Amino acid sequence: MRNLSIRLKMTLWFAISLLFVMSVMYVAIHFVLKETMMKNAESIVKAYSAQASSYIEAEDGDIKFDENMTNTESGIYYQIYNGSNQAVHSYGDFNDLSSFTPNFNQTQVISIKGTNWIIYDQKLLEDNNSIGWIRSVKSLGYIDETLRNLFFIYICLCPVFLAVALLIGYFLVRRTLQPIDKITATARMIGRGDLSQRLNMKNTGDEVGRLSTTFDEMIERLETAFQAEKQFTSDASHELRTPVTVITAYAENAVAEGSSLEGYSRAMEVILKESRKMSATISSLLMLTRGDQRKYQPNLELLDFAQLIGDVADEVKVSAEQKGVSISMLPHTPAFLMLDQTLITNLLLNLLGNAVKYNNDGGHVEISLVAERQNAVLIIKDDGIGISKEDLPKVFNRFFRSEHSGDTEGSGLGLAIAKWIVDVHHGDIRIDSILSVGTTVTVCFPL
């Protein structure tokens, strides 16, 4: 059975199951039919015995009976005994049937020469005195014959039903497994690199329908992830190639003959700057990679979220003042949450840094913290350059930088990291923006 195909296994199991059901039905019918016929035979001999006894009388100590007392239609034999247990009258061959000890008012089943008989003995009473007894017997051969015929029919029908079961089972299983064959063929094509393949099967709601739908959804996610990975690899290569190219160029100039001390110093400054930029990009990528692999376990502790926001805002104000951007925090109540302090600090520096970096000279950043529907809601609103409607869906993509960001430095990883941090804390982040008007970032954490 191990090397058989699933189709053949299911067909065989279907046929075996049907054969088993037929066997159970045969056994049930056999016993019910036998029991019913036995009870019917018992009722007949008892009824005849009672009827026959009504035709028997005692006269001067002798038993008188009706000579016409026969019942050939019911196939019943009888024998009448006097008070001395001597047979005085009989109907039928009683050579072997009269030797059994009487058991009054109880039926007995005996076997003589391969034939079963049912015996019923009843006392004959006259004025409550026993004057003898009558034995009524009936052959049960017809029951045995009926049961043999039933078994013969069962044996004859088994091969027929088995063949029909195999045929029907094969076509049913074949039809049931057709989607599996399609899944196999599609999986082979996907294995060759064609992730655009889909089953596109109608979801019938059964197990196979759910499997095909889940399969398509899985391949859709795989294709999306694969395309994102390709784009990510391309963008990462570009982002890392640029500083490496700059570092190489300045290093070559620095070691070239005739370079001055000032040239060396300038080259070292650029190399240091680009190295730090590349290091920051790599650190961000490593953080996102750990997040993708679900290897990062946040170190949660109870923190005053409002106090943490205020501390980070004070830190960002230093760079904001250089650009003439003001930062204000609206009145709020303390909000104690289970947070990872390092990650949340990174998140706030990222969001507030963007609000300052992409703001206009002399602009303003407003911070508010409110409790809403069992959530702590942080809102950071600026009146900077804003984000176009077309770019909004892409802001959380890695290495995405809007064409409206101009020459502002950035790796394009900040908002991707911000979203990951919010997701780690089971929160939600949303960005609303109007180009040239400003941006509003809303972050929700469960209380």
Q: What is the 3-state secondary structure (H, E, C) of 341-364?
A: HHHHHHHHHHHHHHHHHCCCCCCE
Strand order in the sheet with 87-91: 87-91, 76-82, 129-139, 115-126, 107-112
In a domain, 439, yes or no: yes
**Cα separation, 415 vs 141, whole angstroms:** 94
In a domain, 174, yes or no: no
In a domain, 170, yes or no: no
In a domain, 198, yes or no: no
Same domain, 271 and 406: no
Same domain, 130 and 239: no
In a domain, 168, yes or no: no
Same domain, 103 and 45: yes
Same domain, 286 and 326: no
Task: Dump pLDDT digits (tens) for 343-353.
Answer: 899 899 989 99
The pLDDT of residue 257 is above 60: no
Nearest to 313 by CA among 256, 357, 352: 352
Least confident of 41-50, 171-180, 371-380: 171-180
- pLDDT for 291 equals 66
Q: Domain end: 147, 168, 188, which one?
A: 147
**Cα separation, 382 vs 346, whole angstroms:** 19
Between β-strands 76-82 and 87-91, what pairing exists: parallel, antiparallel or unpaired?
Answer: antiparallel
Same domain, 106 and 218: no
Same domain, 29 and 135: yes
Same domain, 315 and 439: yes
Same domain, 305 and 442: yes
CB 306 within 8 A of CB 333: yes
- pLDDT for 328 equals 92
Same domain, 132 and 220: no
In a domain, 366, yes or no: yes
CATH number of the domain where residue 442 is located: 3.30.565.10
Q: Domain end: 292, 327, 355, which one?
A: 292
The pLDDT of residue 14 is above 70: yes
CATH number of the domain where residue 225 is located: 1.10.287.130
Count other Cβ atoms within 10 Å, centred on residue 129. 9
| Mean pLDDT computed over 360-364 | 90
In a domain, 162, yes or no: no
Same domain, 224 and 259: yes
> What Cα–Cα distance (Å) separates residue 130 from each residue in 60, 67, 145?
14, 21, 39
CATH number of the domain where residue 45 is located: 3.30.450
Region of residue 305 (phi > 0: left; psi between -120 and 50: alpha; otherwise: beta): alpha
Task: Dump pLDDT digits (tens) for 65-112.
Answer: 666 665 555 678 888 888 777 877 777 776 677 778 788 888 888 888
Same domain, 378 and 435: yes
> What Cα–Cα distance (Å) separates residue 312 from each residue in 156, 298, 348?
90, 20, 7
In a domain, 190, yes or no: no
Specify the higher pLDDT residue, 253 or 337: 337
Same domain, 343 and 229: no
Domain range for residue 79? 6-147
Separate counts of helices (H) and strands (E) for the chain: 7, 14
**Cα separation, 285 vs 266, whole angstroms:** 29
Q: Domain end: 292, 309, 339, which one?
A: 292
Q: What share of the chain in percent tops pLDDT 70?
A: 87
Task: Dump pLDDT digits (tens) for 390-446.
Answer: 889 888 887 777 766 655 566 677 888 889 889 989 999 999 999 889 999 999 999
Q: What share of the chain in percent tops pLDDT 90?
A: 20
How many domains is the chain built from? Answer: 3
